[in-house]
Amino acid sequence: MDTTLQDPLVGQVLDGRYRVDARIAVGGMATVYRALDTRLDRVLALKVMHPALAADGSFVERFIREAKSVARLAHPNVVQVFDQGTDGSYVYLAMEYVSGCTLRDVLRERGALQPRAALDILEPVLAALGAAHRAGFVHRDMKPENVLIGDDGRVKVADFGLVRAVDTVTSTTGAVLGTVSYLAPEQIEHGTADPRVDVYACGVVLYEMLSGGRPHQGETPAQVLYQHLHEDVPPPSDAVPGLPYELDELVAAATARTPDVRPHDAVALLAQVREARAALTGDQLDRVPPQALAAEHDNAADRTSVIPRALSMPRPLPVNEDEEEAAFHQEAALNRTSRLDTPPAPPARRPARPRRGLVTVVAAVLLVLGVGAGVWYINSGQFTTVPPLLAKTEAQARDRLKTAGLEVKQVKHAYSDTVRRGTVISTDPRAGARIRSNDSVTLTLSDGPETVQVPDLHGYRLDKARDALKQAGLEPGMVGQSFSDDVPKGFVIGTNPAAGTKRHAGSAIALTVSRGRPVDVPDVTGEALDQAKSDLEDAGLKVSVAPQQVNSEFDQGQVAQQTPAGDSQAADGDTVTLTLSKGPEMVEVPDVVGDSVGDAKKALQNAGFKVQEDRGLLGLFGDTVKGQSVKGGDKAPKGSTVTITIR
């Protein structure tokens, strides 16, 4: 059944511009539609946030802010964001439409992939994430559903809807945003994320591509989360015997439970992937996997959702589904410490001997649940958490810290290409960290992008100019050449941009290097070699003779060709290469006497000759060849003219 018929948005026009044509997919946070931009007449994908989330003003504000950030990611392997807006209760993103399928579709259909195919998919994914990481962003929800494979074979990463700046807290109190099968342990335990959580998720995706199944299985989200925290991802060769150890090591490195052991970002993991690929033979890369694992697939486990962090706490597994459900709701509620009330005082009664056994049991239960009155008092009275302050002004940050009962210890400054000047880049302790009340926090404010002045390199030798650029915090760019009457050959004439211009640190600066004084190259074709050399050397040029000779219209030993050509310009001291003639190529002349004019001309031209007609007065209206200037069967220089007589 086509469920899009029941979707109220299908057929509507959002924001007076985007006509919603069909529903593509439904996720945990949004629904994606195929739509037409009626203004630009192009098909695109429209991602519309679920109404429940759209009603949360702070979530929408964050969604819009992050969408603007992601739109700056110009990378061929990232699904491009075109526009963002709201229309009544609908909050949407307009994105590039990729015609094709997702990696999840491929895995459902084929199961385990050949190692070459898995790496061919993983490398562009890591290239896309690497661009995001180096721009200061984390995806946070990498999974096969967010890897699009176009009909043309291009791989693109989609759904940067959860993307956050690297230095921000990535969860709300008691909840984690993400997909349970791909969450890194630190996301589950602390709700924080840096580029290494994307590395972890990519390791899980690689395991899934190589084995056909996910490394951690469970009937409930709690069981999967527990395994992320307490069990290593197994080597894919356990599921598919015969996979090379390089692939096992790649998965192990990416999915290390300790973040510091993983590659620090997607660029570092990409380097390891390429190193592993280089170590594999063609047979290892093209090894056909056995019957794929597991085709049992729980779609709910693939959805991005808000997961109570209570699920991540170590606890005994329940013995049945009812206990699981009850425990789930109990932990979710108990984790919200702000809702706990002080227990009412018991009615006065006569003193009684304490029952040590019961007290011990109650204390143990409270310790396991982490919500005893004493624990609640400590957490709420003596400790607090550092609030998220990224992109806040110093004044705003101070106000937020004051509200949280914290003080500013120190204000530092650093350059940033992504955070606006005068706003917070990071804090120490980091946002979300547990800290004593009335303690202090160090703020680091952005000085904006680091800019440096392009140095004046006029007259520098090329290698010295490159060194000077690096010392100034810039990178040497493309090198062009140009003639100069006053700058010696090999020395810098100028830069682009010009000296004195300010550029971001690390920008590439193009250099123009002198070719020396310009010289007019004389045309020496047809000259004898000695004469040609003399003419060129008199002009300040050097001469080289090509080892091979060619047929040409010139006599043997004369110059047939020269590089650069005559009447062009070269630099003083440049070399002109001369190619000598072997003389004209001799070709047999076809016999065309008695042929029609048209046939005769065609035969001669095909043999490489030019044709001239001699009709005289008697041949003005004739069409038969009565004679030819070179007899048929004789040889003549190729390209020479044969005259035909027509009567």
Query: Which positions are annotated as active-site residues?
Result: 141
At residue 618, the 3 state secondary structure works out as coil
Q: What is the largest CA-CA distance in the chain?
A: 149
At residue 198, the 3 state secondary structure works out as helix
Helices 195-211, 245-254: crossing angle, 10 deg rounding: 150
Partner residues linked to 309 by β-bridges:
none
Q: State how far the Cα of 467 lies from the Cα of 472, in Å rounded to an integer.
A: 9
Q: How many CB atoms lie within 10 A of CB 383?
A: 12
- Whether 581 and 559 have beta carbons less than 8 Å apart is answered as yes
**Amino acid at site 55:** A
Helices 221-230, 321-334: crossing angle, 10 deg rounding: 70
> Going by C-beta distance under 8 Å and a sequence separation of 6 or more, which residues neighbour residue 526?
554, 558, 559
Q: State how far the Cα of 460 lies from the Cα of 455, in Å rounded to an integer.
A: 11
- Whether 524 and 532 have beta carbons less than 8 Å apart is answered as yes
Judged on CB neighbours under 10 Å (0-12, 13-18, 19+), 204 is: buried
Q: State how far the Cα of 591 lies from the Cα of 586, in Å rounded to an integer.
A: 16
Q: State how far the Cα of 600 lies from the Cα of 33, in Å rounded to an integer.
A: 69
Token couple for 594: 């008695």
Token couple for 604: 């001669």
> Going by C-beta distance under 8 Å and a sequence separation of 6 or more, which residues neighbour residue 598?
none
Distances (CA, A) of 355 to 255, 361, 491: 48, 10, 93
Q: Of 526, 527, 564, which is closest to residue 544 (Cα–Cα)?
A: 564
Vertex 627: Cα angle to 626 and 633 (nearest 5):
130
Q: State how far the Cα of 107 lies from the Cα of 216, in Å rounded to an integer.
A: 16
Q: State how far the Cα of 297 lies from the Cα of 339, in Å rounded to an integer.
A: 37
Q: State how far the Cα of 531 lies from the Cα of 535, in Å rounded to an integer.
A: 6
Q: State how far the Cα of 254 lies from the Cα of 201, in Å rounded to an integer.
A: 8
- Whether 46 and 22 have beta carbons less than 8 Å apart is answered as no
| H helix runs in 462-528, sequence order | 462-471
Q: State how far the Cα of 311 lies from the Cα of 313, in Å rounded to an integer.
A: 6
Partner residues linked to 423 by β-bridges:
393
- Whether 138 and 197 have beta carbons less than 8 Å apart is answered as yes
Q: Of 586, 602, 591, which is closest to residue 626 (Cα–Cα)?
A: 591
Q: State how far the Cα of 408 lies from the Cα of 137, in Å rounded to an integer.
A: 26
In order, the DSSP letters of 348-394 are: P-------HHHHHHHHHHHHHHT--HHHHHIIIIIEEEPPP-TT-BH
